[in-house]
Homo-oligomer: A and B are copies of this chain.
């Protein structure tokens, strides 16, 4: 099955996803720390078994497939983190998975997807259209296409982060989160958080030059990243544009800010020294925005540390910049 009517993600769907995920994965910790003299809380999704929150959406999607759909397999499309989520869930459910990944994805991500038993199909990020390739592959195999963010199940699954976070914030700080700051790429996690936590302000954080969602929110229509967008270390956030299923949730509901590459590296160093956590660049943008004073903070502000899949050489260079 390669085409179906677009399902709209719902708050009830997020709640159901959270229950399914709680049954197989312990909650990631919500870690209190001091940022600009304010106690805030970090949701450490980098501590998921695959090092990133993407395990949530992939699990919700794949575990909802019918027996017939499972037998036909799945096709994922991803810069590397969603790929690991799909591969992890597929292996656990005994489903064949093929993942369409950019040939220049971090080696550590390519290797891990293969280790998890998935087939990797590479494409050239500059000249080829990953969505067209993955659609064709899914059609050819009659497999289910599992998009990295433009999918109701994936959005609902990522939203389970907000359900966990709210329960933990209540226990630690006596109330629901007032504000959640999150890395923002295609808008799967941000849309999920918006559905999960209807009373919280949601602030997405994009890398400079990759602010397509910020411009989409400003104009009320989906905008694309410029063809000459600058290089960014945030490979996980290099999405050309958000999708309608995401934008329908995000528009009028969230705000967005940007951070520089240097601010991202400073956040990686802060997480190393103060939280003893490894963050990949794209997983550090929310922390970067908080540290740089780009978002207001209060006593029930949470920020999502969304992933930690980076290679040793890159991380060593980030550390040495300050040493």
Interface residues of A (CB under 8 A from B): 26, 28-33, 44, 46-47, 49, 51, 108, 168, 171-172, 269, 272-273, 275-279, 308-309, 311-313, 315-317, 319-320, 322-323
Asked if A29 and B32 sit within 8 Å, CB to CB, the answer is no
A-B contact pairs, 27 of them (CB 8 A): A26-B29, A26-B30, A26-B171, A26-B172, A28-B29, A29-B47, A31-B47, A44-B47, A47-B275, A47-B276, A51-B276, A108-B273, A272-B278, A276-B277, A276-B278, A276-B279, A277-B278, A312-B323, A313-B319, A313-B320, A313-B323, A315-B316, A315-B319, A316-B317, A316-B319, A316-B320, A319-B319
Cβ distance A46 to chain B, nearest Cβ, rounded Å: 4
Copies in the complex: 2
Closest Cβ neighbor of A45 among chain B residues: B276
Return chain B residues, CB-CB under 8 Å to A108. Answer: 273
Q: What chain B residues lie within 8 Å of A308 (beta carbons)?
A: 276
Docked CA distance A276–B171 (Å) = 25
User: Using Cβ atoms and an 8 Å threshold, which residues of chain B touch A275?
Assistant: 47
Query: In the docked arrangement, what's the CA distance between A47 and B47, Å?
Result: 11
Residues in B whose Cβ lies below 8 Å from that of A313: 319-320, 323
Task: Report Cα–Cα, A278/B276, bound state, in Å.
Answer: 5
| Cα A320 to Cα B44 with chains together (Å) | 25
From B172, B315, B320, give the contact of A272 (CB < 8 A): B315
